[in-house]
Amino acid sequence: MKGLFITFEGGECSGKTTIIQQLCKTLEEMQIPYISTREPGGIDIAEQIRNIILDVNNQKMTEETEALLYAASRMQHLKEKVIPALDAGYIVICDRFLDSSLAYQGYARHLGMESILQINHFALSHLPDLTLFIDVKPDVALKRLENRQKTDRLDLENIQFHNDVYQGYLEVCKLYPDRIIKIDGNVDLDLVCKHCIDKVLDFIKR
């Protein structure tokens, strides 16, 4: 394994998409080989699973099914895209990974982090080398969500769910203090991008 696996985590509207775009631009300018991908998705099979999970018509989906589908898409994405890229020496930037399942399904949906680890453990051969958690208070994030056009099944959840996801992430940060760095995401987005890029470049140059 020659590359580095770097993931971004956070609740809805935490700014991950913009941050990742800015980071990729910097890596490109520095001619550092990277790929950028996302969960659930990143490859055809996993994007199909994503569509099923996030479809607003699938209100009957059980919490367990949801957790298993996220795990299934993760395994396919890892084997088909992430591991080959790491083997080829790329930096892999991934929008969400296992920590999302721990915070959303394990904590906010009350399935328990232990159960999430169990179902993922079945085929999970890799944890990220570095994870940046964009720490945005749920009320700040929800104000941003009101201005967003697209809606999916998870956007329809109430404020309590988003608060629980946030609490879940704080628990996940405690579980993996050596891997996860918290970034203050409540400030101006340009500044958040700069903090994230600095952390990633420091890590790559270690």
Q: Determine, following the binding rule CB under 6 A, whether residue 40 of this chain makes contact with ligand TMP.
A: yes
Q: Binding residue for ligand TMP (CB under 6 A) from 6, 35, 39, 196? A: 39
Residue nearest to ligand TMP (CB): 104
| Residues 29 and 153: beta-carbon distance below 8 Å | no
Distance, CA of 114 to CA of 197 (rounded, Å):
32
Give every CB contact of residue 18 below 8 A, 6+ residues apart in sequence.
189, 193
* Sole residue written with tokens 């990277």: 34
Q: Binding residue for ligand TMP (CB under 6 A) from 5, 34, 90, 104? A: 104
- Both tokens of 169, joined, read 């992430």
Give every CB contact of residue 135 below 8 A, 6+ residues apart in sequence.
10, 169, 182, 183, 184, 185, 186
The one segment of 57-65, 82-90, 96-104, 182-190 that binds ligand TMP by CB under 6 A: 96-104
Q: Determine, following the binding rule CB under 6 A, whether residue 133 of this chain makes contact with ligand TMP.
A: no
| Residues 153 and 53: beta-carbon distance below 8 Å | yes
The one segment of 27-35, 99-107, 121-129, 192-200 that binds ligand TMP by CB under 6 A: 99-107
Site size with ligand TMP, rule: CB under 6 A: 11
Smallest gap from residue 40 Cβ to ligand TMP (A): 5
Q: Which is nearer to ligand TMP, 32 or 155 (CB)?
A: 155
Distance, CA of 160 to CA of 166 (rounded, Å):
10
Distance, CA of 193 to CA of 62 (rounded, Å):
36
Q: Determine, following the binding rule CB under 6 A, whether residue 113 of this chain makes contact with ligand TMP.
A: no
Smallest gap from residue 198 Cβ to ligand TMP (A): 23
Task: Tell which positions 154-173 bind ligand TMP, by CB under 6 A.
Answer: 154
Q: Which is nearer to ligand TMP, 32 or 153 (CB)?
A: 153
Distance, CA of 103 to CA of 59 (rounded, Å):
20
Q: Which is nearer to ligand TMP, 37 or 105 (CB)?
A: 105
Q: Binding residue for ligand TMP (CB under 6 A) from 7, 37, 76, 100? A: 100
Q: Collapsing DSSP states into helix, strand and coil, what is residue 30?
A: coil
Give residues in contact with ligand TMP (CB under 6 A): 12, 39-40, 70, 95-96, 100-101, 104-105, 154
